[in-house]
Amino acid sequence: MGRKFLLWLVWLGFIIYVLLFAPPVQSNTFQPVQTLLTGHLPSINPVFISLFSMIGIWLLIYSCLVFADGRMQSLPAWAFVLASVGLGAVGLIPYLALREPNQQFSGRKDAWLELMDSHTTGWILTVSTLVLLTYALFFGNWTNFVHEFQTNRFIHAMSLAFCLFGLLFPFPTLLGDDMARRGLTNNSQFFWLVSLIPLFGPLAYLCLRPSILGSRTILNDT
């Protein structure tokens, strides 16, 4: 009960903060994302491109846990993941708050779950993250990023959402339940290693975790 209450508090607090206390909306607030969506990448600060892309990395990291977890929940996991594509942490936190702790997995893994369960997916996300960080560190204008963080509501909220994804990853029992499904229940050191290393801890977990028992659904022609 305390876990759910705290998650709803974080969810509501984040919304209130962004609406009332973040930098005000200006005529150019959404210019970075509009420019990004139109494909004019050279005109965008590489820090913004990397930050925007790594929000997507976080969503995929969560997806690698949420879709298997959703098999054992009454909630449609895909709906919350889809909402998080547009709303970020605001779309995903309700799933974390509403889900029930469950350390079981039953049934066959379909092609999508196989993909989310694959070590290859973890390695692709890890390499992509390294490329994005290198791009931001060596080519980004960090002075401009600090200025935009202080004055642009969209950049401000996106930066906070990036941090929030990392802080919430070990908290709502999602990680612990996923580890239990893979026979890692007694490995508390691994849990804290994954939890305390920002971003790369969860990525390492996706690359190293044992597979969930199950088999891909095979369709036979009759």
- The string of pLDDT tens digits covering residues 147-171 is 999 998 989 999 999 999 999 998 8
For residue 27, being part of any structural domain is answered with no
**pLDDT reading at 20 higher than 50:** yes
Residue owning tokens 């210019």: 31
Residue 153 included in any domain: yes
Whether 34 maps to a domain, the answer reads: no
* pLDDT at position 171: 87
Number of domains in the chain: 1
Instruction: Give domain status of residue 24, yes or no.
Output: no
Q: Does 199 reside within a domain? A: yes
Domain that holds residue 50: 2-13+45-208
Q: What is the pLDDT of residue 184?
A: 87
Render pLDDT for 176-219 as a digit per residue (tens, 0 to 9). Answer: 999 999 988 777 888 988 999 999 999 999 999 999 875 444 34
Residue 15 has pLDDT above 60, yes or no: yes
Q: What is the pLDDT of residue 1?
A: 67
Q: How far apart are CA 15 and CA 7, in angstroms?
A: 12
Separation CA 167–CA 132 (nearest Å)? 20
Tell me whether residue 22 is in a domain. no
55-81 tens-digit pLDDT:
999 999 999 999 999 999 999 999 999
What whole-number distance in Å separates Cα of residue 188 and Cα of residue 28? 46
> For position 107, what pLDDT does the model report?
83
For range 135-147, the mean pLDDT: 95
pTM across the whole model: 0.89
197-203 contact pairs (CB < 8 A, 24+) = 198/166, 199/54, 199/57, 199/58, 199/129, 199/166, 200/126, 200/129, 202/61, 202/166, 202/169, 202/175, 203/61, 203/122, 203/125, 203/126, 203/129
